[in-house]
Amino acid sequence: VLNPTDMAKQVEEAEHCRQSAQKQISSISKQDQANGDVGIIANGSAYDPESMQRLSCQWTAALWDAVGTVHSKEAQLQLVIDYDRQTQKAQVTFEKLSAELVALRCPVESSFVEEQRLRSFLRTMEQERTVLGELIQTHSQLSPYLSSPEKASAQAQVNRTQRDWRELERSVEKTLHNV
């Protein structure tokens, strides 16, 4: 769905723009100093300090925009990395809990023991629920930066994870009710 490598490329592109703007400002500054001493530009036209000042201001504004974009893209990259990590963690946790539930369904000597094991399992699920909370929180922070297709895909992924979790929990509760 969301690829940290693609987001890292966007950070690199924004950084390249920032560096280009910085080079332009430096070049204008050097040219301004040289022309201030000479008074005539190499092609024979007169030096216009006001035009140079306007050009410098425009490039400075572009530099600040690029700096802001770099910071924004870096923050978005971190959110994508966090989202990816939390999605994987939620999946691993779900798979671990599913395997534990399969093991719990092995026959036991008494319904009391089975009930205790299932209640313990539900407590474990509740403790592990923080994984879902972190995923949902990161998704909500990341969502405003996503395109419509990315947003829909990420939302579907979160919904699927929540649905799987609820189904597992309902299965345990149903089994517990039947004990």
- For residue range 87-122, what is the model confidence (pLDDT) as tens digits? 999 999 999 999 999 988 877 778 888 899 999 999
Domain residues for the domain of 30 are 4-178
Q: What is the pTM of this model?
A: 0.77
- Other Cβ atoms less than 10 A from the Cβ of 149: the count is 9
Q: For residues 28 and 49, is the Cβ–Cβ distance under 8 A?
A: no
* Residue numbers in the chain where pLDDT is lower than 50: 38-41
Query: What pLDDT does residue 33 have?
Result: 78
Please report the pLDDT score of residue 108 as a whole number.
73
Task: Report helix angle 49-104 to 111-128, nearest 10.
Answer: 180
At 1 the pLDDT is 65
Domain count within the chain: 1
pLDDT of residue 103: 87
